[in-house]
Amino acid sequence: MKVFSNAETFNYSWEEVSTANWRKYCPWNQKSTHVVAVDTLSRTVDPETGILRTERLITCRQSAPDWLKSLMGGSMDESQVYETSYVDPRTRTVTMVSANLTWSNLINVQETVVYRPLNGTQTRFEQAAKITALCGGWQRIKNSIEDTLVKRFRENAVKGKEGFEAVLAMSRRVFAEEREREKIMMLQAQAGNIRMAAAA
Amino acid sequence: MSQSLAPECNEIKERYDTCFLKWYSEKYLRGIGTTDNNECAGLFKEYSTCLQGALKERGIDKLLEEAREDNKENDTALMGKKKCKLSETRGLRQR
């Protein structure tokens, strides 16, 4: 088993980060192109705790190394990940746990991501992944498979941070524009009321 | 928004995602209507029906069942705080 871990700080509030997190893999993110689809499978709010639980299916397309492909005897380019996330509004924590659906007889990948507020304007991101090759046989092959995936995690984490920064910046801009539009509409409506009152 | 794995579900997915994001940022995070996102329920049902067909076609539904089973521990740890307390009190009473 190998472990990959990573932590980042985003200069955005937890509210902004947890909202933008839902569209982390949208076209605004031009870095994490290996994620080709994100589907929501279920979504519920626990009436007692207020925790929002979401199940998603993440579809990735990323080519595997040639030696691994020949070992498996086929293309390994498309893979799926099952993700369950829990938003706790009371502790202001987002926890996301993911497991690989594809090649689960060969390898087991368990990833946990947590977003917590550091303060009013900063959010901490913590990521940990446990990677275990399950195939019987040579330890050397298992090690190679695990090392390949750890390397892949490291590369994707760098791209993920850059891509998410872009999504956060864009979200802030869009929300600000929306608020501005709402303000203008309200002012126009008020001006209209004043004109009507003056005419009457 | 991101794509669906089934292109035929893209349109309804986009509508649902937009509805959810609005509910999440304007209501859920502000503690309004936290019981459920009912205003998006109709869209979700439509999207889900489309998606379920696609998952079955690709054989993903079976894999998901196993993954859900494996995730039960996480569910208890991250959702079932109340349940733990209940079983604790029951344990105490038995003693």
Domain parsing of chain B, residue ranges: 1-58
- ipTM field: 0.84
CATH of the domain at A29: 3.30.530.20
Contacts A102 to B, Cβ<8 Å: 63
Q: How confident is the model at residue B2 (pLDDT cuts 50, 70, 90)?
A: confident
The Cα–Cα gap between A94 and B76 comes to 16
Question: Is B36 in the A-facing interface, judged by CB distances under 8 Å?
Answer: yes
User: pLDDT digit of tens for each residue in chain A (200 aa)?
Assistant: 999 999 999 999 999 999 999 998 877 888 778 889 999 999 999 988 999 999 999 998 877 777 777 777 666 678 899 999 999 999 999 999 999 998 888 889 999 999 999 999 999 999 999 999 887 777 888 888 899 889 988 988 888 888 899 899 989 998 888 888 888 988 888 888 888 888 87
- Tokens 């941070």, residue located: A161
- Tokens 């519920």, residue located: A44
Cα separation values, A118 from A17, A45, A124, A161, B95, Å: 12, 25, 6, 17, 43
Q: How confident is the model at residue B87 (pLDDT cuts 50, 70, 90)?
A: very low
Task: Say which residues have a Cβ less than 8 Å from residue A146's Cβ, sequence separation at least 6.
Answer: A1, A2, A107, A131, A132, A133
Are A49 and B81 in contact (CB < 8 Å)?
yes
What's the structural domain count of chain A? 1
DSSP summary character for residue B30? G
The Cα–Cα gap between A56 and A38 comes to 7
List all residues of chain A from 97 to 116 with a beta carbon under 8 Å from chain B: 97, 99, 101-102, 104
Residues of the domain holding A36: 2-199
Contacts B63 to A, Cβ<8 Å: 80, 82, 101-102, 104
Task: Say which residues have a Cβ less than 8 Å from residue A153's Cβ, sequence separation at least 6.
Answer: A4, A129, A131
Are A104 and B63 in contact (CB < 8 Å)?
yes
